[in-house]
Amino acid sequence: MFNQISVYHNPESGLIVMESEVEQSDTFNPRIPTDRLCSINWCTEGSITVYAKDMTLVDTYGVAERMMITNPSHLSLGRCLLICASETAKYYCLHNNNSQEIYYNGDVIQLSANEERTFTDNNGHFIFCSLGSLTNLNKFALKTIDSDSYTVTAGAEGAIITVFYDSTDD
């Protein structure tokens, strides 16, 4: 069973972040054929075990761990099954809602309370906050990194952020 809601959506660009309250299972579909995912997927609560379409175990991912499917043969099967491995889980899927031709790549980062982090190779990339807040970015808000040395500071409750970019042409 799942309920899914867009917590961030830019209809013009198609960028969307869906939040799911997962009680049992869900699936996500990489493009066919493909050797990489077009989406970035992660949890902020609980854990999720990912299986390939042929039910080969891929891995179990906990909070702030980007779900990766590194075996191309598993990706080529075209569908992955996500099983909630905890009582419940809250997971996010960042992708493009307008086109399957657009790929995103990046990192999911957990920051402790008031922790600072400086990004030096991410000018032009985006930051999305899915838990807690940064001093200059609220939960479910998006910001563009606009310098070669960009420092963020987590709020008093810490934060989970996704630093990502459009990797279509990589």
Partner 1 sequence: MSMFGYNTLGFGSIAGTAPVTLDLTLQGGSVSRTNATYTGVSIGTANTNRMVIIQGAVSSYGSITAPTSITLNGTAMTLVRNAYNVFIAYLKVPTGTTATIVISGGGGAFNQQIITINTVNAGANQTSIQSGQAAGNGGSLTHTMTTDPVTTNGVFIWGGNGFNGIPNLSLLTSNPSGATTTLSYSSGSGGSNNAMLMGYSECTTADSRNAQIRNTNTETSGKVASALYSVFTYFQTE
Residue ranges in contact with partner 1 by CB under 8 A: 1-6, 9, 11-12, 14, 16, 18, 97-100
Size (the chain), residues:
170
CA angle 36, 31, 140 (to 5 degrees): 75
CA distance 40 to 93: 6
Q: Is residue 30 reached through a cis peptide bond, with omega within 30 degrees of 0 on the bond before it?
A: no
* 78 or 158: CB nearest partner 1: 78
> Least distance from C-beta 154 to partner 1, angstroms?
26
Q: 40 vs 163, which CB is nearer to partner 1?
A: 40
Min dist. Cβ of residue 4 to partner 1 (A): 5
Cβ-based nearer residue to partner 1, 1 or 55: 1
Find the shortest distance in angstroms from Cβ 90 to partner 1: 14
Least Cβ distance, residue 146 to partner 1 (angstroms): 23
Residue 74, SS3?
Answer: helix
Cβ within 8 Å of residue 11, ≥6 positions away: none
